[in-house]
Amino acid sequence: MEMELKVNQDNCLGCGVCVVACPVNASISNEVAGGHGSKTTETIMMVENGFIKLFSPEKCTKCGTCQLFCPTDAIWLE
């Protein structure tokens, strides 16, 4: 059973840790690999107006890295 990537903006602090931790994001965007926010909506998720938003969730491989790093359980797989 394939899991699904979910976000809850109510919990999100907009810290962007998930954006940087995500290995798929880092392989798509050089800025992310360098520890910065993404400049392209090609990445799975990015912080927009202070909250996390999913842009290309279909690219997610369900590795669980974002969930491990999120300090507020605002992004998870289920």
Q: Give the single-character DSSP code of 58.
A: G
The verdict on 49 binding another protein (CB under 8 A) reads no
Give 76's contacts (C-beta < 8 A, 6+ positions apart).
5, 6, 67, 70
The verdict on 13 binding another protein (CB under 8 A) reads no
The verdict on 33 binding another protein (CB under 8 A) reads yes
CA distances from 33 to 38, 63, 72, 78 (A): 9, 17, 23, 26
- Using the contact rule CB under 8 A, the part of the chain among 9-17, 35-43, 49-57, 65-73 near another protein is 65-73
Binder to another protein among 35, 50, 64, 71 (CB under 8 A)?
64
Binder to another protein among 21, 48, 54, 55 (CB under 8 A)?
21
